[in-house]
Amino acid sequence: MARVSSSPIISYFQEPFIAALDAAAPTNANDDPSYYARYPRSLITTSNLETFISGTGSAIYEALSPLLESTDHELILVTCFWARSQSLQRLNDILRTLSEKAVRRGTEKIRVRLCFSSSSIFQKLFHNQSLTGKTYPSSAWVKKLGLPDPSELNGLDIKIKSIFILPFSVMHPKFIIIDRKTAVLPSCNISWEEWFEGAITVTGPVVEQFLKFYRAFWERRQDPATTLNAADNALVESRGALKAFAQLSARDVHTIFLPSPHRRHPRFSFFGPQEALRAPPTPLNVFILTLFARAQRSIRIQTPNVTAPPVLSALLKALAVGIDVRILTSDRLMILEQLVTAGTTTSRCMKKLIKRYKRLFRKFKPPSDEETAIAIPKLGRLHVSYFKPIGGARKQGREGGEPQQSHLKMTIIDDEVLVLGSGNLDRASWFTSQELGVAFFDKEVAKRVGNAVDEGMQARSKVVFDSEEMH
């Protein structure tokens, strides 16, 4: 049972969110998964936050290795993109270590479940269109997936599945569950992409939410998961080549689990007024819009792309009522994907947002009368920057540990509410992809994670607009 908190800040954001999901229940009942649709309050839980790490994807998997190798009974890994890479090599080493552990102790095999959505354009074009997905036989592990030979993994009970639905429904979440006691929420895939990423490690009741989501979608089961008889897992200790590491050690943090089911036919159009487009009322979409609408002081965003019309409209409204908005995104990331799924790009959307902000600024010229000036709301400050790697862009394989893009998805509201997960603020994440986010209500956690990201981002951004220069 989740802890009930009387904190005003929690109720201020949570209750409108729950009310909106209650109203959307008839629509969300048709989603997959939809187990929370009739009782959205079941998504409220608590968590113990252990660590937050940032760096490139390969550095994060290197740092997570001690935790993953501590698995005694079950390892579940869900990712979006799967490719031969340093991350995959590290995962292969982890699987070999787990297999040797199980063989050495002579007991039952360690259960391993690997799930992904995309590995290549060819794979997506010819993937079966069933949500039961495609299961890979052991004969395909080496050639198709780059995994060790099955003879090296005799101590493991492995099943591997992929799910992708044409035209754009990619299963985008990334999460790891160790022995049903610890969960990791990384932004990185099993991929060659050396980008700036983040990962948070959690224990406590929130892990049951991850399990429920996994079982409902990837195993097509609705029955509750049983608890494994496993010892406490080791926490991440290796710091390796990380850009930043934060020991959170926060207990009983009020938490909301935020699934966002995929939509095969989202019913959006590239033509006509985009501001009127309504995103599917998934828990993640509704919660983000609730945060933007009810923020009191500030909105901080770091995301790969920003092209979702509802997001841009909500940010402009927040600015108009005095909320400061800070965005760190990319000007040239996945351009072709953006054009195909959104009909625009992040750089175009940022230019449009800045242009509209300047129009607002002209309307907010301070009046000469002092009483009138006090009554008129102040325009929020807008700060937009793009990620820039130190030393400039480098070719694949020559990154030398320097992230080439920012792939972290992070939102912080009023320095008190932190949202991490897989969801970008682009049209694909908001209208077609399956996503997963988790919201944490803790001022100190938001501060520590924000500081860790700031440390990793030092000298890696370029300001393209700062409204302070307009004054």
% of residues, the chain, pLDDT over 70: 88
Cβ(357)–Cβ(319) below 8 Å? yes
Nearest to 108 by CA among 71, 53, 139, 152: 71
Whether 238 shows a pLDDT value over 50: the answer reads no
Question: 55 forms bridges with which residues in the sheet?
Answer: 197
Task: Give the confidence band of 275 by pLDDT, cuts at 50, 70, 90.
Answer: low
Of 226, 256, 286, the domain-final residue = 256
pLDDT at 329: 97
Whether 269 shows a pLDDT value over 70: the answer reads no
Cα angle vertex 204, ends 201, 208, to 5°?
95
Whether 268 shows a pLDDT value over 90: the answer reads no
Are 266 and 172 part of one and the same domain?
no
> d(Cα 423, Cα 434) in Å, to the nearest integer?
9
AA identity, residue 50: E
Total Cβ atoms within 10 A of residue 67: 22
pLDDT tens sequence across 130-143? 999 999 999 999 99
Whether 298 shows a pLDDT value over 60: the answer reads yes
pLDDT at 240: 43
Residue linked to tokens 């299963």: 171
pLDDT at 470: 75
Of 215, 240, 256, the domain-final residue = 256
Whether 242 shows a pLDDT value over 60: the answer reads no
Answer yes or no: is 24 within a domain: no
Nearest to 210 by CA among 403, 395, 47: 47
pLDDT tens sequence across 342-400? 788 999 999 999 999 999 998 876 655 555 555 567 899 999 999 999 999 999 888 88
Are 117 and 195 part of one and the same domain?
yes
Are 282 and 420 part of one and the same domain?
yes
pLDDT at 332: 81
Task: Give the confidence band of 263 by pLDDT, cuts at 50, 70, 90.
Answer: confident
> d(Cα 352, Cα 347) in Å, to the nearest integer?
9
The domain tally of the chain equals: 2
Lowest pLDDT segment from 96-110, 180-194, 261-275, 423-437: 261-275
pLDDT at 239: 41
> d(Cα 390, Cα 237) in Å, to the nearest integer?
27
Task: Give the confidence band of 126 by pLDDT, cuts at 50, 70, 90.
Answer: confident
Answer yes or no: is 36 within a domain: no
Of 223, 238, 256, the domain-final residue = 256
> d(Cα 344, Cα 290) in Å, to the nearest integer?
25
Task: Give the confidence band of 229 by pLDDT, cuts at 50, 70, 90.
Answer: low
Task: Give the confidence band of 235 by pLDDT, cuts at 50, 70, 90.
Answer: very low
pLDDT at 245: 72
Task: Give the confidence band of 333 by pLDDT, cuts at 50, 70, 90.
Answer: confident
pLDDT at 213: 98
Per-residue pLDDT, averaged over 323-342, amounts to: 86
pLDDT tens sequence across 417-455? 999 999 999 999 999 999 999 999 999 999 999 999 999
Are 240 and 378 part of one and the same domain?
no
Whether 38 shows a pLDDT value over 80: the answer reads yes
Are 214 and 287 part of one and the same domain?
no
Are 226 and 324 part of one and the same domain?
no
Are 133 and 236 part of one and the same domain?
yes
Residue linked to tokens 């929370």: 36
Total Cβ atoms within 10 A of residue 450: 18
Whether 241 shows a pLDDT value over 60: the answer reads no
Per-residue pLDDT, averaged over 279-299, amounts to: 97
Answer yes or no: is 236 within a domain: yes
Whether 4 shows a pLDDT value over 90: the answer reads no
Whether 254 shows a pLDDT value over 90: the answer reads yes
Task: Give the confidence band of 1 by pLDDT, cuts at 50, 70, 90.
Answer: very low
Task: Give the confidence band of 8 by pLDDT, cuts at 50, 70, 90.
Answer: confident
Phi then psi for residue 165, to 5 deg, are -120, 120
Mean pLDDT of the chain: 90
Answer yes or no: is 171 within a domain: yes
Show the domain range for 227. 47-256
pLDDT tens sequence across 85-119? 999 999 999 999 999 999 999 989 999 999 999 99
Whether 179 shows a pLDDT value over 60: the answer reads yes
- Read off the pTM: 0.92
Are 278 and 419 part of one and the same domain?
yes
Widest CA span in the chain: 83
Whether 182 shows a pLDDT value over 60: the answer reads yes
pLDDT at 369: 56
Whether 5 shows a pLDDT value over 60: the answer reads no
pLDDT at 337: 78
Answer yes or no: is 6 within a domain: no
Task: Give the confidence band of 167 by pLDDT, cuts at 50, 70, 90.
Answer: confident
Are 160 and 65 part of one and the same domain?
yes
Q: Which residues contact 362 (CB under 8 A, 6 or more apart)?
A: none
% of residues, the chain, pLDDT over 90: 76
Are 294 and 214 part of one and the same domain?
no
Answer yes or no: is 159 within a domain: yes
Are 160 and 236 part of one and the same domain?
yes
Answer yes or no: is 42 within a domain: no
Tell me the torsion sign for CA atoms 114, 116, 118, 122: positive
CATH number, position 416: 3.30.870.10
pLDDT at 336: 74
AA identity, residue 133: G
Are 183 and 306 part of one and the same domain?
no
Answer yes or no: is 277 within a domain: yes
